[in-house]
Amino acid sequence: MAAAHRDVIAVDGWDALHPRAGLVRVGLELAVSAPPGALYELARQAVEDSSGLPADEIGPEAAEALQKLALTLEASTPKM
């Protein structure tokens, strides 16, 4: 989580990349210090919001960190 947040805020002009970019940044920022239940939901929402971001514009580090976060969430989500 912290790695994704760090890599996102390192991208110059992140919030201007896409209408949802600011939501991703704020969600990750809040998740870093959130209690477990809120952390999961904030991370899930950040990953969902990031799915519409232009991969070629967000930078390889941020793209990789968000992909790793998405895979971690998928692995930790109970299958019904």
| pLDDT, the chain, mean | 93
Question: Cα–Cα distance between 53 and 42 in angstroms, integer?
Answer: 17
pLDDT > 80? residue 80? no
- Where residue 73 falls among pLDDT bands split at 50, 70, 90? very high
Q: Is residue 80 part of a domain?
A: no
Q: Is residue 54 part of a domain?
A: yes
Structure tokens at 53: 């971001």
Q: How many domains does the chain have?
A: 1
Q: Residue 18's domain spans which residues?
A: 2-75
Check: CB of residue 50 under 8 Å from CB of residue 4: no
pLDDT tens profile 26-44: 999 999 999 988 999 999 9
Check: CB of residue 12 under 8 Å from CB of residue 38: no
